Each structure stands twice: as structure tokens, then as C-alpha cells.
Structure 1
Amino acid sequence: MTENFVTNYIEELKETLDNLDKQEIVKFASILEQARQNGNKVFIFGNGGSGSTATHFACDINKGASLGKEKRHKIIALTDNIPIMLAYSNDMSYDDVFVEQLKNFIETGDVVVGISGSGNSKNIIKAIEFANGQGNTTVGITGFDGGKLKKLATYSVNANRNDMQISEDIHMILVHLMMKILEAID
């Protein structure tokens, strides 16, 4: 049973990777590189495992894709300030933890990236709607059918698998792929 499970999981992961829209991935890398060239910030966030992916993304791009470059990436994971998230959750609503942080920092030209396996997390949707209203470029990184986030974001990369763990695995592969692509650009 265990060996079959492992084989099936790996096959699902490979199939999902094979079905990714390569043009969506190229566009995402282009958006991130344009933000670096223009000196803009990229805000990224998610809940649970997607929040961890956002933090990992900020680490890998800020260090791995920026080291030794005159112009550096400015990736800010809104998941990293736990006290501010708790304050907004307690005093307002968990639905506001990302949008309220954006209100403090977002400027013209900044990019906003929401990660959501389902694509339907209210706090992600609220932040993307706000950024869209400010005229900022938004990107949704999703799983399943992409949910509301895929439709709402300016651009999206969708793992399109009805499995949260496979979707999250694809999202982490996307983090490392973005780092490798951006690292190779002078």
C-alpha cells in the first residue's frame, strides 16, 4: 500500500507539473524582474502552508536572486510580522490582516502576490481587490480551479489540481524556479 501511495503521489505531481502553463510562469518572472528594474516592492502573502511559501519566496528572491546585483529585489512577506497580524485579527478581523498592511506600504508600481491553494481565502481576496483598486499589478498563485483569486488577479499561475499538498508542492517548485530564473538575469 505505501509503495503504491508514493508512486501515485509522484505521478500526480509530475502530471501537474507537465500541465502548468509555461507562459504564465514566464510572465510572472517578467513581472518580478520589471519590479526590480523599476525599484518597486513586491508584497507576498498567504495562509498556513501558503504563508510559509510566501516567507520562503521572500528569502530566496531577496538573497538568492539579488546577491551581487546593484539593483536588488524588494520582496516583503506580509506573513512575517506576527504581532501586526495578531493586532489586526484581534482588533478588526482576520480578513483584514493583509489589506491593512498594504494600506501602510503600497506605492504606485508595486506588485502584490497572493498565494492560496483554494483561491478563495477572504483575506487574500480582500488584499488583491485593494491592490487592483490602487492600480497595482496583482498575481494569484493558486491550486484547484484557481477560485476567485485566479479570476481577480491581473495574472495567475494555477497548479490546477484538486489536492492541497500537490498544489503547495507546485507552489514551492515555483518559488525555486523564480529564484533560478531571476538569479540568472544581470
Structure 2
Amino acid sequence: MSTLDTWLQDYVTKQREVYAALPLDQVAAIIDLLRDAHAKGSQVFVFGNGGSAANASHFVTDVGKGSSDALGKRFRILSLNDNTAWMTALGNDYAYEDVYLRQLQNYAQPGDVALCMSVSGNSPNLVKAMKWAGENGVHTVGLVGAKRGSLAEICEHVLVVPDTHYGRVEDAQMTICHMLAYAFMEQTAGVVA
């Protein structure tokens, strides 16, 4: 077996170990929170940086289209990392740490949900936004890697992916996001269309 073959097999083995250790009870709790937000018409805000931002956009697309189509009632869900003009204006005129906080200040109401994804759990822009959200009656969900970081201390719901490798954590975060979305698409989340 070549070095590359060994590395590839090792990557897959470690990814399987991460999936096997995911706290599914916590995934179910987030599904319950999303079901409640859907029933009440609450807004769901999703955001992250880098690969986690891409996962946030993907998740919002799956829920906004696929889950909403399956249920017949639309989810109110928005990715805060998708408006480049607004993000760069906020980053330029205030600080990069404010790019999510200031959007939440425009939109978020008590009872809404803010869900962020971070491998480190310490991104200042995420921490600042989630701290504000929690202080203003917004339910907070953090999907973080094994380092946990500040997000694990301030979020109401914390789901830790038990690894620190960026690729494995981001892969697992997207799998979690697919479970959250497909619970509604496949109508296993206790919501009837």
C-alpha cells in the first residue's frame, strides 16, 4: 500500500470515528428547537467563517428550500455571511468583529434562533454576536470542534464535534446540518405538513 493510500484510509477511519462519537441527543435537541421556531414563525440566523460560512450557506439553502417544501410552511431562515456588501461595510466602518453582531441587532427578536459554526469556538465575530444574542433573548446554538472555545461557554445549545482537524470537523458539521434539514424533509421531526 502506498503512502497516499495509507493516508487516505487513515482519513476515512478517523472521519468514521468522529461520526460514531457525535452526540445525537444534542442533534435531536437542536431539531426540537428548529421545530419550535418553525411552528412559531421565528427567524433562524446561521453564520460562520471560511468553510463554516460555506456550511452555513448550504444549510440555509437546504432548510429554506427543501425543508420548507416538504412541510408546506416556510422556514424563516437566513445566512448572515451571504451579503458581501453589508459585511464589508460593517467590517470597514466598525470592525470585523461586528459583521454578525450588527446584522443581528438589525433583525433579531427575542425567541429567534442564532446558530453558528466554528472549529475553534473562539472567532471574535462569532463570540461577540452570540453573546449579544443570548443577552437579548435569542436562542443560541454553537457547533464547535473539540477545543470548544468561548462559544461553548456562552451558547445555550453546544454540539461538540470531537476532533480538532478542520476538515473532519467541517465535514461533520455539514453532516449534522444535513441531519437537521432532512429530519424535516423526510418528516421524521414530528412535524406534519
What TM-score, normalized by structure 2, do the two folds share?
0.94
Q: Kindly state the Cα deviation for residue 75 of structure 1 after the two structures are TM-superposed.
A: 1.1
Q: Give the structure 2 partner of residue 73 of structure 1.
A: 75
In the alignment, structure 1 residue 133 sits paired with structure 2 residue 135: yes
1:50-75 Cα offsets, whole Å, 9 max, x none, are 00111001000011111053422111
Q: Give the structure 2 partner of residue 114 of structure 1.
A: 116
Aligned partner (choices 83, 86, 91) of residue 84 of structure 1? 86
Give the distance between the partners of 2:95 and 2:78, measured in 1 at CA: 22
Give the distance between the partners of 1:12 and 1:82, measured in 2 at CA: 35
* Worse overlay, 33-42 or 174-183: 174-183
Q: Kindly state the Cα deviation for residue 152 of structure 1 after the two structures are TM-superposed.
A: 1.0
Q: Secondary structure at the match of 1:66?
A: helix
Q: Is the 8 A contact 2:119 2:164 kept in 1?
A: no
Q: Is the 8 A contact 1:146 1:160 kept in 2?
A: no
Q: Is the 8 A contact 1:44 1:78 kept in 2?
A: yes
The one-letter amino acid of 2:75's match is H
What TM-score, normalized by structure 1, do the two folds share?
0.97
Give the distance between the partners of 2:70 and 2:90, measured in 1 at CA: 37
Aligned partner (choices 147, 154, 157) of residue 155 of structure 1? 157
Q: Kindly state the Cα deviation for residue 166 of structure 1 after the two structures are TM-superposed.
A: 0.3
Q: Kindly state the Cα deviation for residue 150 of structure 1 after the two structures are TM-superposed.
A: 1.4
1:111-163 Cα offsets, whole Å, 9 max, x none, are 01111110000000000000001011100011122111112100011112021
Give the distance between the partners of 1:162 and 1:68, measured in 2 at CA: 35
Q: Secondary structure at the match of 1:67?
A: helix
Q: Secondary structure at the match of 2:28?
A: helix
Q: Kindly state the Cα deviation for residue 36 of structure 1 after the two structures are TM-superposed.
A: 0.2
Q: Give unpaired runs (5+ residues) of structure 1.
A: none
Change in CA separation of 1:144 and 1:68 when aligned onto 2, cut-off 3 Å: closer
Q: Give the structure 2 partner of residue 98 of structure 1.
A: 100
The total of aligned residue pairs comes to: 186
Q: Give unpaired runs (5+ residues) of structure 2.
A: none
Q: Kindly state the Cα deviation for residue 87 of structure 1 after the two structures are TM-superposed.
A: 0.3
Please, what is the CA RMSD of the aligned residues? 1.0
Q: Give the structure 1 partner of residue 177 of structure 2.
A: 175
1:89-119 Cα offsets, whole Å, 9 max, x none, are 1111100000000000001210011111100
Q: Secondary structure at the match of 2:106?
A: helix
Q: Give the structure 1 partner of residue 12 of structure 2.
A: 10
